[in-house]
Structure 1
Amino acid sequence: MKTNKSILGAGVVSAIAASLCCITPVLALIAGTTGMAASFSWIEPLRPYLLIFTVLVLGFAWYQQLKTKKIDCDCEEDKKSGFFQSKTFLFLITIFAIVMSLFPYYSSVFYPSTNKQLVIVEQQNIQKISIDIEGMTCEACEQTINYSIGQLDGIVLSEASFEKGNAIVEFDQTKTNSKEIEEAVNKTGYKAISTKKENDEN
């Protein structure tokens, strides 16, 4: 049974599109163009529907491939079916679709560590702020923002959260300031909406 190439193509495209909002930040970081990281964040609300569509398309393709056929005069043509109509090809496409669909859950492995040796002379120089950020949709967004902020001198801690829509940052105010941190966020393509000082809990 020939597998419809256009159906498989639709399945692959939808699998990639479902995770595009998380793939883009990684590609942007690798390419050194973090400003495009938020380019496809608008796709995130469609992710569940794209994943469902992917499952349905691949399910139909497997049904077409595996369903029993009556032997007829076309049997010789079936024997000549090439690689692109084979179960092996469909299996590879399915694996690729799964890998793409699950990308948000392992994307963090592509981000380099931002750990830097930092000597704080005075504890009183450490300032803690909370930045409200627009556009984050998944963990890859968090990693992009943390990486960008972490490139600044004097950063002690950066913890972005797409669920809360903010980033908690601790820094040495003798080496950087909240304005520079906001600029680092905005460079990624996400938008720093507002910044406020956090109360010192110590």
Structure 2
Amino acid sequence: MRNQELPYMDNQETPATKAWVGAGLLAALGASLCCITPLLAIMAGTSGMAASFSWLEPLRPYLIGVTALVLGFAWYQKLKPARKIDCDCETTPKPNFMQTEAFLSIVTVFAAVMLAFPSYAYVFYPQTQGQQVTADKANVQTVEIKIKGMTCAGCEGHVNSEVNKLAGILKVETSYADGNTLVQFDKTKTDVKQIEKAVLATGYKVTEIKKK
């Protein structure tokens, strides 16, 4: 058989490159897991697991960096010019889908969506402000509860969702940045202990309670 000069695909995806892509996905998931977990907890009806991955929040900048580096390397491997060698083979093997730029593009977009999750997590939670109930002003009380473990807007939505399950809740405002929730309620229908219990059900820690 006559030797033919065929392109040698030295930028084909090797097992090592696939490992880099997998590492990028895991890093992206890890960077967002602390905010994804509260939503999954509500969907699964196991609120207590919501704060299980809050310890990942301080690592988020590093995980974002790792994601960018490994996916950047994968793209470099994919797009770098291919060398040409003499080959006795008849045809160049067609790469499977996981070796294509289309697959790497899907992985990259998915990683970007995961990394951005904390910025839009709130849209998955009901935007409720109490139960539209009326109460005598003499019975209205406000309490501020300091909370440890919240890391993003998804955590705020989780706390609001749990507290609003109680009867007599007029208004709930939770801030992960301030680490607190302000709850206005009818004290004839619920009390501070019940509200604290609802917050604790999310898995976060209550550090202080102030009655207004």
- Please say if residues 27 and 64 of structure 2, whose CA atoms lie closer than 8 Å, have aligned partners that are also in contact: yes
Change over 3 Å in CA distance of 1:178–1:64 after alignment to 2: same
How far does residue 71 in structure 1 lie from its aligned partner after superposition? 1.7
Aligned-pair CA distance for 1:197: 1.3
Seen in structure 2, the aligned counterparts of structure 1 residues 149 and 78 have a Cα distance that, compared at 3 Å, is farther
Q: Is the 8 A contact 2:37 2:50 kept in 1?
A: yes
Asked whether 1:39 is paired with 2:49, we answer: no
Alignment of 1:59-70 (within 5 A): 59-70=72-83
Tell me, yes or no, if structure 1 residue 178 matches structure 2 residue 178.
no
Relative to the length of structure 1, the TM-score reads 0.93
Runs (4+) of structure 1 exceeding 6 A deviation are: 74-77
Letter in 1 for 2:192: S
SS in 2 for 1:19: helix
- Partner of 1:23, secondary structure, is helix
| CA–CA separation in structure 1 for the residues paired with 2:50 and 2:143 | 23
Separation in 1 of the partners of 2:79 and 2:164?
A: 51
Amino acid at match of 1:119: T
Count of equivalent residues: 197
Residues 114, 151 of structure 1: 8 Å contact kept: no
Residue-by-residue CA offset, 1:62-118 (whole Å, 9 max, x unaligned): 111111122224797764211111000000000110111111111112223445231
Which stretch has the larger CA shift, 53-62 or 64-73?
64-73
Q: Give me the whole-angstrom Cα distance separating, in 2, the residues matched to 1:33 and 1:191.
A: 16
Matched, 1:2 2:12: yes
Equivalent residue, structure 1, for 2:116? 102
Separation (CA, whole Å) in 1 of partners of 2:102 and 2:19: 17
CA RMSD of aligned residues (A): 1.6
Alignment pair present for 1:56 and 2:79: no
SS of alignment partner, residue 171 of structure 2: strand
Instruction: Map 1:93-132 onto structure 2 (within 5 A).
Output: 93-115=107-129, 116-120=131-135, 122-132=136-146
Residue 134 (str. 1) matches residue 148 (str. 2): yes
Per the TM alignment, residue 161 of structure 1 is displaced from its structure 2 partner at its CA by 1.0
From the superposition, tell whether residues 77 and 100 of structure 1 become closer, same or farther in structure 2 (CA, over 3 Å): farther
Distance 1:47 1:76 in 2: 49
Number of the residue aligned with 1:192: 206
Matched, 1:15 2:15: no
TM-score (norm: length of structure 2): 0.88
With over 3 angstroms needed to count, the CA separation of the structure-2 counterparts of 1:72 and 1:137, relative to structure 1, is same
Deviation at 1:160, TM superposition (A): 1.1
Instruction: Letter of the 2:170 partner, please give it.
Output: V
SS at match of 2:170: strand
Corresponding residue number in structure 1 for 2:168:
154
Cα pair 1:25 1:141 within 8 Å, conserved: yes
Q: From the superposition, tell whether residues 77 and 99 of structure 1 become closer, same or farther in structure 2 (CA, over 3 Å).
A: farther
Distance, in Å, in 1 between the alignment partners of 2:125 and 2:166 is 16
